[in-house]
Amino acid sequence: MSRHTQENLASVFLLVVFAGVIWMCQDFGPRARMVPQPLAIFGIVLTLIQLAWHNFGSPSEYQMDMISVQAPDIPVAEVLDVPVKKASWLREAAAYGMIAVLLGLTFVTGVMPAAFLFTAGYFMVTRYCSWQLSLVYAAVMTGSLYLLFVVALQMQPYHGLLAPLFP
């Protein structure tokens, strides 16, 4: 999918969000919707202009900064000269998956075990180090988090959905 289409999809998504806000505002009293409703309408107007400029205008029309700074002629590629692998959709999907896995682990096992399992698993999957070292690093990290949050800040940890199985 081209960047152009993606931008359009993002704008359409925003339109749906703002329209949803206006629809939900109908259930509120006049004072409760006094700010959100006009704002959502303003949001729709902004998004429509953005859509129009994106599809029918030149890029210079919507790239406006109030402060213009003359930076020296150093090519961006030279400034940020780090070898960057192309961010394919697969890597992006993996990043979303990573967040989903950590979230799932947190719900199932609880906050602290999830941090341990995720860290150890990530090190192993990415082959950052051997599995033994992965476990050690993860244990040190989780231990530090436990000391900081549970012992020092007296946080009551969430024990996860599996907790009732281990009374």
Q: Return d(Cα 55, Cα 111) in angstroms, integer.
A: 45
Residue 115 found at the interface with other proteins (CB under 8 A): yes
Element (H, E) at 162: none
Among 132, 156, 165, 166, binds other proteins (CB under 8 A): 156
Among 91, 133, 143, 147, binds other proteins (CB under 8 A): 91
Of 153 and 165, CB closest to other proteins: 153
CA 82 vs. chain centroid, Å, equals: 23
The least CB distance from residue 167 to other proteins, in Å, is 20
Residue 109 found at the interface with other proteins (CB under 8 A): no
The least CB distance from residue 93 to other proteins, in Å, is 10
Residues ≥6 apart with Cβ < 8 Å to 77: none
The least CB distance from residue 149 to other proteins, in Å, is 5
Residue 108 found at the interface with other proteins (CB under 8 A): no
> Largest Cα–Cα distance of the chain, in whole Å?
66
Residue 136 found at the interface with other proteins (CB under 8 A): no
Residues ≥6 apart with Cβ < 8 Å to 26: 33
Of 45 and 166, CB closest to other proteins: 45
- In 3D space, the residue among 88, 124, 118 whose CA is nearest the CA of residue 101 turns out to be 118
